[in-house]
Amino acid sequence: MQIYNGLHEICKPFHEPALVIGNFDGVHLGHQALFQKVVEVAGDGDKLALTFEPHPMVFLRPERGLKRISTLEHKIEMIQRAGIGHLIILPFNKELADTTAEDFVRHVLCEKIGVKHLVVGYDYAFGKGRQGDIPFLEQKGAEYGFSVHVVEPVLVHHMVVSSTKVRELVARGEMRLVYDLLGRYYQIRGEVRHGQRRGGRLLGYPTANLHLEEDYLSPASGVYAVQVICLSSCFWGVLNIGTNPTFNGQTVLAEVHLLDFDGELYGKQIKVNLVEKLRDERKFDSVDALRMQIGRDIEKARVILSQEPGLGKGCVEGIMP
């Protein structure tokens, strides 16, 4: 997939391009339906997606503290897997925020991209004041010669699939429902850094301490059965997200114990697929009581992961198959 970090990197016209525009945070089933429509209507033409960095709400409403479902790297991987051949990443800044829908259609979609087929979601709107709604696009399509294809909402368990709903479920630790909305496991990524070294020294269960970016959506505090992808291999594991109340911790940490692993991970990038929440985090009366509970957590995780379809057959990269 060819990536363009701004319109200035587009050096030549696209061939009969079909385009979808969006933030695509998480690339959930609703987004995937949009990409499928692009592939369908493009035919022999180029298949394009246009997204923004950072998320527009981070720029427009920073006080909300919007958390990212997937890193930009992960989002790019998933969009490529969806069959998109060209990804345009526009920096979202004041200039873009002040661009009217009319100017965006004329100068970006038509003059720069040469759009022939535009795919949008049922609730899509863009431009200053969100004036560029679907009737506006249909009118401009007739004027400039491009078709507009509206994709209806995707429903799962009577819920409309959306990034907002995914964030809500992740924040509650409902990873099975998150899987159903994403079409894959929720995945966190980060670099393994030095921690307090309590896992191995005090508890007998060494952990990899995962550093997550501040704008990354962290799941609810608790203990999870997970699959860990690192060193070109996959391992079962148990992840704890929380403050370690038994040790009176204050900072939220993500610590993962890899089952049947003996090696060094410091400084390595790892990926963790969250399969199922095992329990809430809680404070134990003693280190021995915590150690015994971790042992029970590991045994429960082994049972869950051994029965999980596909996990026993190799890595699940957290992206669409």
pLDDT at 309: 81
Q: Is residue 321 part of a domain?
A: no
Whether 178 is in a domain gets the answer no
Mean pLDDT, range 305-316, rounded to an integer? 72
Average pLDDT, the chain: 90
Mean pLDDT of 145-173: 97
**Same domain assignment for residues 36 and 91:** yes
pTM for the full predicted model: 0.90
28 with 123, same domain: the answer is yes
The rounded distance, in Å, linking the Cα atoms of 36 and 21 is: 13
Q: How far apart are CA 76 and CA 87, in angstroms?
A: 8
Examine residue 105 and state whether it is found in any structural domain, yes or no.
yes
- Three-class secondary structure of residue 224 per DSSP: strand
- Asked if 134 and 7 sit in the same domain, the reply is yes
Instruction: Express as a percent the part of the chain with pLDDT over 70.
Output: 92
One domain for residues 40 and 101: yes
The CATH number covering residue 47 comes to 3.40.50.620
- 149 with 90, same domain: the answer is yes
Higher model confidence: residue 126 or residue 178?
178
3-class DSSP state for residue 102? helix
CA distance 36 to 39: 5
My answer on whether 152 and 189 are in the same domain is no
Structural domain contains residue 242: yes
- 19 and 133 share one domain: yes
The predicted model gives 113-125 an average pLDDT of 95
- Maximal C-alpha separation, the chain: 73
Domain identity same for 34 and 119: yes
* Domains contained in the chain, number: 2
Same domain, 31 and 143: yes
Question: Same structural domain for residues 87 and 39?
Answer: yes
What's the pLDDT at 248? 59
Cis peptide before 153 (omega within 30 of 0): no
169 in a structural domain: no
Structure confidence by residue, pLDDT tens digits, 183-230: 999 999 989 987 655 544 456 688 899 887 778 898 999 999 999 999
Answer whether residue 112 shows pLDDT above 80.
yes
Pairing of strands 47-53, 86-91: parallel
Q: Do 13 and 135 fall within a single domain?
A: yes
In the structure, what pLDDT confidence band is assigned to residue 146 with cuts at 50, 70 and 90?
very high
Is the residue at 172 inside a domain? no
Is 90 contained in some domain? yes
The residue segments making up the domain with residue 296 are 185-312
State whether 128 and 59 are in the same domain. yes
Residues with catalytic roles: 255
